C-alpha cells in the first residue's frame, strides 16, 4: 500500500514535470519543470532500490544537465514565447508519424529483450560495490572509451569557445 502511494507520487511528479516542460510558455519555467521530471525519475529509481543509478541521475541530471539547459536559455535570450503565438509549430502533425515510429521501435526492442523475464521480487540487489566491480572488470573498455569521448567533446567545446583575436592591436572597441 505504502509502496503504491510512493510510486504514484513519484510517477505523477515525473509525468507532470514532463508535460509542463512541453506546455508552458516561459522557457525558464519549462527548464525547471524538466528538472522536476528528472528528480521524479531519480525518486523512481531510488524506490526500486537502484541506489547508485538514482543518485547518479540526481547528481548528473538535476545538478548538471538542468543547469546546462538553463544557461543555454539565458545565453540565447529567447525566454518568452509571445502570447499570440501558438506553442506548437504549424507543421506539428509531421511529428506524429515520427513519434509513432520511435515508440514502435522502442516497444519492439523492449519486448524482444531478454531482461523482460520477471525475476522473483527481492532477488535483485545491486550494491555499489558490485556495480564498481562490474565497471572496472567486465566493462572497463566501454567505460574508458566513453571517458575518452567525453574528454574529446570537452576539448572541442573549449576550442570552439576560445575565440582568440588574430591581431589584438587592431581589435575594434
Partner 1 sequence: MSRLDQIFVLLGHWLAGWAPVPVRPLVSAVLAIACIMLVFATCFALTTLAERKLLGRMQNRFGPNRVGPCGLFQPVADGVKMLIKEDIVPFSADKALHFLAPIVLTAPIWLAFAVLPFGRNMTAIDLDAGILFFFAIGSASELAVFMAGWSSQNKYSVVGAMRAIAQMISYEVPLALSTLPALMLAGSLSLNDIVAAQGSYAFGWLARWNAFTPWGLAGLLLFLIAATAESNRSPFDLPEGESEIIAGYLTEYSGFKYALFFLGEYVGLFAGAGLAVTVFLGGWHAPVKGLEWAPSWLWFGGKFAALIFLFIWVRATLPRLRLDQLLNFAWRFLVPLSLVNLLVAAAWYWSGAWPFGAAAPIRWVLCAALFVFPCHWLGGTLRGPGALPRKYNYAE
Q: Can you tell me the distance from the alpha carbon of 10 to that of 44, in angstroms, rounded to the nearest whole number? A: 6
* Residue 66 makes contact with partner 1 by CB under 8 A: yes
Q: Can you tell me the distance from the alpha carbon of 107 to that of 143, in angstroms, rounded to the nearest whole number? A: 27
* Residue 55 makes contact with partner 1 by CB under 8 A: yes
Q: Cell 547528481: give the residue.
A: 59
Q: Which is nearer to partner 1, 11 or 29 (CB)?
A: 29
* Residue 51 makes contact with partner 1 by CB under 8 A: yes
Q: Residue 57, exposed/middle/buried by CB under 10 A (0-12, 13-18, 19+)?
A: buried
DSSP classification of residue 59: I
Q: Which of residues 7-46 bind partner 1 (CB under 8 A)?
A: 26, 28-29, 32, 35, 39, 42
Binding site for partner 1 (CB under 8 A): 26, 28-29, 32, 35, 39, 42, 51-52, 55-56, 58-59, 62-64, 66-67, 70, 74, 127-129
Amino acid at each position: 500500500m505504502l509502496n503504491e502511494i510512493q510510486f504514484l507520487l513519484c510517477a505523477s511528479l515525473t509525468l507532470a514535470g514532463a508535460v509542463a516542460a512541453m506546455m508552458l510558455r516561459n522557457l525558464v519555467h519549462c527548464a525547471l519543470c524538466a528538472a522536476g521530471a528528472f528528480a521524479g525519475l531519480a525518486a523512481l529509481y531510488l524506490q526500486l532500490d537502484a541506489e547508485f543509478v538514482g543518485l547518479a541521475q540526481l547528481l548528473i541530471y538535476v545538478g548538471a544537465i538542468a543547469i546546462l539547459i538553463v544557461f543555454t536559455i539565458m545565453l540565447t535570450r529567447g525566454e518568452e514565447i509571445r502570447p499570440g503565438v501558438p506553442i506548437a509549430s504549424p507543421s506539428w502533425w509531421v511529428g506524429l508519424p515520427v513519434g509513432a515510429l520511435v515508440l514502435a521501435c522502442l516497444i519492439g526492442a523492449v519486448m524482444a529483450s531478454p531482461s523482460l523475464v520477471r525475476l522473483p521480487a527481492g532477488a535483485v540487489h545491486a550494491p555499489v560495490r558490485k556495480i564498481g566491480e562490474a565497471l572496472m572488470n567486465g566493462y572497463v573498455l566501454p567505460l574508458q572509451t566513453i571517458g575518452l569521448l567525453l574528454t574529446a567533446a570537452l576539448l572541442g567545446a573549449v576550442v570552439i569557445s576560445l575565440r582568440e583575436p588574430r591581431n589584438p592591436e587592431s581589435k575594434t572597441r
